Amino acid sequence: MKNLPLSLLALWMAAPLAIAQHAALPDPPAPRLLAQAANLAAPQVQPNPPAQQPQPSDGQKLTLSEAERIALQHNPNISIAHLLQLAAAQGTREARSAELPDATANLTGVGAHDNSRITTGALNNPIVYDRAAAGLTARQLITDFGRTHNLIRNAQSNARAQLETERATVEDITLAVDQAFYQALTAQSVLKVAQQTVAARQATGEQINALTSQKLRSTLDLSLANVQVSQAQLLAVDAQNTFQTALASLNAILGSETNQSYELVDEIPADPPAPPANSEDVVQLALRSRPDLAAQNDRFTAAKQFASAEHDLMRPTLSALATAGGTPVRADQIQSSWYGAAGANLSIPLFNGFEYSARAKEADLRAQAASEQVRNLRDAIARDVRTTVMNAQATFQRIAVSKQLLDQANTAMELAQARYKVGLSGIVELTQAQLAQTQAEIGYANARYTYQTALAEVRFQTGQ
């Protein structure tokens, strides 16, 4: 939409020159000639763009709700967020596995040199006997005094954070669809206005050309009419380019690799709902409902739980171990055909180069940073909500003003047509009235769809 006002500005800048030239126009034609010029007034022309410009109605119809549904089904960001949420959910199972038994089956076969000993490598039993054996070893954590429990809670909080992030992604895509849809809908409306303008200018130009050939109008009228046709065609070219660009953006958000053409359905009510009157109530709603804030709170909670788990590294770990098996093939020194043992082990950390204290301090600092991130996000949400509400209120007021301007432009157009019909004005007044009407139509379309975009942003900011 940013390039459309440039074309309109070019039309507007042409007006002073045309008015200056209008001073040299001949006097109005005699009454007997006015009847021949009457058909120039208010030509009823249906939209008929140049042949090289495709109609937006060539594609299938698409409503906003259908666009949102397609995007939520096909946009890859939705799949990415869901897969990450499923992956985060597995972290809870990983952390809880430390509380469950750990069993390992072993098959061992050894061939040893007679009367040999292992004399290097470690402090262990150096005797090696020929044997073939199988057995089972089981280990069970009895307690680590809270570390595993805190790690499980940390994983659960991270999983909840990712679930909220998935919901935030859905809202992000929904907002992006709404913005792209209304932008494309605006471009489609402007394109239709531009095409109607081209058709009206061409019809006027053809009629003035016929009157000029009969010496009923000056060549200056014909020249100015041709200028208006060219400027209207430039407006149509810019509008067509803007519409195609908006469709490309919409297709990308819908998750389509092809440049699908759509006829966008305008379902906006004639009297749209008013924006929120009090931004502070909306701020409180946003702070309660925003999924990204909920996700950040869950990350802060997870950071605190992980810090507690890191502090628990300094505590002992008590675990039980049992093993049993058989040795059907064995050396004579191994007299029993089976073996079995069970015991408990208490591991007490004494000193590891201050690693555990450094890890605990790092986790505490990261938890404090997460707390500040929550506060920072709350401040940003409050600012964005207030800004969005004020923008919605301003754009809502623009609708009424733009509608009033359009009504006035239509009235001015009717008066200009009547004056031109009876010969009281020239082509300049008529074309300026047409230009004002075109500007008013574009401005009204912009106001309507900009307000709908603002309402979509309010819904996004409040997490609705």
Give the DSSP letter string of 122-141: SSS--B---EEEEEEEEEEE
Tokens linked to 106? 């072993």
Residue 329 β-bridge partners: 132
Q: Which amino acid is at 175?
A: L
Is the per-residue pLDDT at 272 higher than 90?
Answer: no
Spacing of C-alpha 196 from chain mean position: 33
Residues shown for the chain = 464
Give the whole-number percent of the chain exceeding pLDDT 70.
Answer: 87
Number of H helices, E strands in the chain: 10, 6
Across the chain, what does the average pLDDT equal? 82
Tokens 């799949």 belong to: 79
Measured CA to CA, the distance from residue 301 to residue 297 in angstroms comes to: 6
> Sorting pLDDT into bands at 50, 70 and 90, what band is 59?
low
Residue 29 in 3-state DSSP? coil
pLDDT at 104: 92
Spacing of C-alpha 413 from chain mean position: 42
Spacing of C-alpha 1 from chain mean position: 19
CATH placement of domain 4-22+32-100+148-315+357-461: 1.20.1600.10
Residue range 48-66: mean pLDDT, rounded: 59
Dihedral of CA 215/217/45/49: which sign? positive
The domain spans of the chain are 4-22+32-100+148-315+357-461
Residue-wise pLDDT for 91-135, tens only, equals: 999 999 988 999 999 898 888 888 788 877 777 777 888 889 999
φ/ψ of residue 141, rounded to 5 = -75, 125
pLDDT at 58: 52
Q: What is the DSSP code string of 150-192?
A: HHHHHHHHHHHHHHHHHHHHHHHHHHHHHHHHHHHHHHHHHHH
pLDDT at 335: 85
**Lowest-confidence region among 77-91, 108-122, 225-239:** 108-122
**Lowest-confidence region among 111-125, 288-302, 425-439:** 111-125
Dihedral of CA 298/304/310/316: which sign? negative
Measured CA to CA, the distance from residue 256 to residue 144 in angstroms comes to: 52
13-25 b/e (C-beta count within 10 Å ≥ 16 → b): ebeeebeebbeeb
Is the per-residue pLDDT at 53 higher than 60?
Answer: no
Helix (H) or strand (E) holding 361, with range, is helix 355-421
Is the per-residue pLDDT at 33 higher than 50?
Answer: no
Q: Which residues does 101 contact at the CB level (< 8 Å), separation at least 6?
A: 138, 139, 140
Angle made by CA atoms 225, 230, 232, in degrees to the nearest 5 = 90
